[in-house]
Amino acid sequence: MDMDKWWKRSIFYEIYISSFCDSNNDGIGDLRGITSKLGYLKSLGIDGIWLTPYYKSPKVDNGYDIEDYYEINPDYGTMDDFDELLREAHKRNIKIIADLVLNHTSDKHKWFVESKASKDSQKRDWYIWKDKPNNWESFFSGSAWEYDEPTKQYYYHAFAKEQVDLNWSNSQVKKAMLDVVKFWLDKGIDGFRLDVINFLKVNDSFADNPSDENGEQQHIYDKDQAGIIQVIQELRDVVEQYDDRFLVGEVGSDNIETIKEYIGDTCLDAAFNFNLGSIEKFDVKRIFTELKLMEEKLDGQLPTLFFSSHDMPRYISRFGGETMDEERAKCVAVLMLTARGIPFIYYGDEIGMRDYVAESIACMRDIQGVLAYEKAIGNGKSYSEALIIANQRCRDKSRSPMQWDASEYAGFSTAKPWMEVHISRSVINVENQLIDGNSIFNHYKQLISIREKHKSLLYGVYEKLDMQENAIYFVRKYESEEVLVIINFGISELEFSIEKYQGFKFVYSNIRESLDLSKSTIRVMSNESIIMTKEV
């Protein structure tokens, strides 16, 4: 494996731009806000930032509906602000990767406006038009087809109707998008997070999707289709003309074999595995099984390690609710930052932010939540029932403004933020976390610095990856160094034999300062993680 590639030893930090830091006090986070917090990110120790879409957009899906790939959304600033952010990040040795939505554009994009204008439009074939819809369902809600009265045809949208799927079988579309890719690479962006990349093409047959025994549609013909990998390879060829850029893809699949197909030297560098990242409930055996599977099935390629994102509830709330044991949250961080893979920290997780729940439909911002609400009302549900249903789908949970301090708007802005600040801001905020030596933030920071100092945590393979009771433990080795990590997610203490680990020294525990290594066993407490190393 080529160890020199920066992304192989990097920790990424996902920033949901609207909610991170507002520099001009209009209530919406922006690029200059991020620049002003680079010092904070540097002190945490991250190496790369994943920026959610910053392009011009009507923001029906908060930027995942792009109107112009060459312009910055004025809510987020200007091109100068973008250049400054990139420059300032690079000065601090922080890379930036951009979220790029290739699958669809906004319905306001000039390509679609032209395509829609008439059946004879030169751009008609840039999108997917049909006289009759099939049964394909949108991943958000309802049919994936929208009728256009003037031209009497339906267009295809895998997500909201304002996010129109491009026709990637049209070579002009491909060329136009590769030009976009080159534009941002020329600007110096360090790579891309490719949005829903395995949706890029649909099956030419347009055959109906089958349903499973529960009546749920099986997305057989509208994702992972032939020809997608070739497109990615062409994109890769473009990226290869620039040195050292990184491609990570969002590959929504519950099959690791499918995910694997997208990764490799001529394809994506890495892909998100939601089977691990988005597990609904905390399940140590499931986590362990996924770690093992990724080792077995990814042919040595690096997995990604994450448990939160802008599309799912925060892991702290998901795994433990309001009563989540902070030590357990730290243990999840230990796993993310010491297992083999590329960690992606989601903004706010490092201070223990919790899920936000909208108390009224007026407070709800996410299109998915709003669509679910409308559907429920359409199905005759009452307001309060519909609100509950909507909140289940709503992705606002993990998108509330970053909690910098205890003030009314959490130090995120001096104006009323675009979405409500979480009520916990008075207790859970960066200011408090920095002061408290034992805070989640300070544990993240310490773990990141331990990772940096130990090559086996950056490059080491697993000598062992196993479970004992409800603990996951592993040994990673690189050259003359070995690291042993024991993470006890169990509710009871674990007696762990260290006979095989003679000569290992204590490096870290989230619970104590030192450890007696003179006996043949150690007692690992509930929700305790221990890291030990040895130089051979």
Asked if 156 is part of the footprint of ligand GLC (rule: CB under 6 A), the reply reads: no
**Position closest to ligand GLC via CB:** 64
CB 483 within 8 A of CB 460: yes
Shortest spacing between CB 99 and ligand GLC, in angstroms? 8
The two tokens of residue 104 are 């669809």
Asked if 504 is part of the footprint of ligand GLC (rule: CB under 6 A), the reply reads: no
The two tokens of residue 489 are 């997610």
For ligand GLC, the binding residue among 144, 196, 259, 390 (CB under 6 A) is 196
Shortest spacing between CB 314 and ligand GLC, in angstroms? 15
Shortest spacing between CB 166 and ligand GLC, in angstroms? 12
Asked if 248 is part of the footprint of ligand GLC (rule: CB under 6 A), the reply reads: no
237 a catalytic residue: no
Asked if 7 is part of the footprint of ligand GLC (rule: CB under 6 A), the reply reads: no
Asked if 64 is part of the footprint of ligand GLC (rule: CB under 6 A), the reply reads: yes
Burial of 281 (0-12, 13-18, 19+ CB in 10 A): exposed
Of residues 160 through 179, those in contact with ligand GLC by CB under 6 A are 163
Burial of 117 (0-12, 13-18, 19+ CB in 10 A): middle
Among 489, 441, 488, 469, which Cα is nearest to 282's?
489
DSSP collapsed to 3 states, 417-457: CCCCCCHHHHCCCHHHHHHCCCCHHHHHHHHHHHHHHCHHH
Place of tokens 């009546």: 215
For ligand GLC, the binding residue among 101, 291, 387, 486 (CB under 6 A) is 101
Shortest spacing between CB 162 and ligand GLC, in angstroms? 11
CB closer to ligand GLC out of 104 and 340: 104
CB closer to ligand GLC out of 66 and 475: 66
CB closer to ligand GLC out of 31 and 196: 196
| Cα angle for residues 180, 185, 187 (degrees, 5° grid) | 100
CB closer to ligand GLC out of 159 and 504: 159
* Sign of the CA dihedral with 185 first, then 187, 190, and 195 last: negative
For ligand GLC, the binding residue among 47, 107, 165, 195 (CB under 6 A) is 195
Of residues 297 through 316, those in contact with ligand GLC by CB under 6 A are 310-311
Place of tokens 């201070």: 351
Shortest spacing between CB 107 and ligand GLC, in angstroms? 13
CB 529 within 8 A of CB 485: yes
Give Dmax (Cα) for the chain.
81
Q: What is the C-alpha separation between 18 and 12, in angstroms, rounded?
A: 18
- Characterize 485-500 residue by residue with b for buried, 16 or more Cβ atoms within 10 angstroms of its Cβ, and e for exposed: bbbbbbeeebebebee
One-letter amino acid for residue 81 of the chain: D
Q: Which of 250, 261, 420, 481 is catalytic?
A: 250
Q: What is the C-alpha separation between 199 and 215, in angstroms, rounded?
A: 22
CB closer to ligand GLC out of 71 and 311: 311
CB closer to ligand GLC out of 196 and 302: 196
Shortest spacing between CB 278 and ligand GLC, in angstroms? 11
Shortest spacing between CB 136 and ligand GLC, in angstroms? 15
Length of the chain: 536
Contact residues for 396 (Cβ-Cβ < 8 A; gap 6+): 356, 358, 364, 365, 366, 369, 419
Shortest spacing between CB 403 and ligand GLC, in angstroms? 22
CB closer to ligand GLC out of 101 and 494: 101
- Characterize 443-481 residue by residue with b for buried, 16 or more Cβ atoms within 10 angstroms of its Cβ, and e for exposed: bbbbbbebbeebbbbbbbeeeebebeebbbbbbbbbeeb
195 a catalytic residue: yes
CB 348 within 8 A of CB 40: no
CB closer to ligand GLC out of 140 and 508: 140
Shortest spacing between CB 268 and ligand GLC, in angstroms? 15
Q: Where are the beta strands (DSSP E) in 89-171?
A: 95-100, 104-106, 129-130, 145-148, 153-156, 163-165
Q: Which of 162, 195, 269, 290 is catalytic?
A: 195
Asked if 61 is part of the footprint of ligand GLC (rule: CB under 6 A), the reply reads: yes
Of residues 512 through 531, those in contact with ligand GLC by CB under 6 A are none
For ligand GLC, the binding residue among 82, 154, 159, 404 (CB under 6 A) is 159
Count of residues interacting with ligand GLC (CB under 6 A) = 10
CB closer to ligand GLC out of 308 and 433: 308
Write out the catalytic residue numbers: 195, 250
Where on the chain is the footprint of ligand GLC (CB under 6 A)? 61, 64, 101, 159, 163, 195-196, 250, 310-311
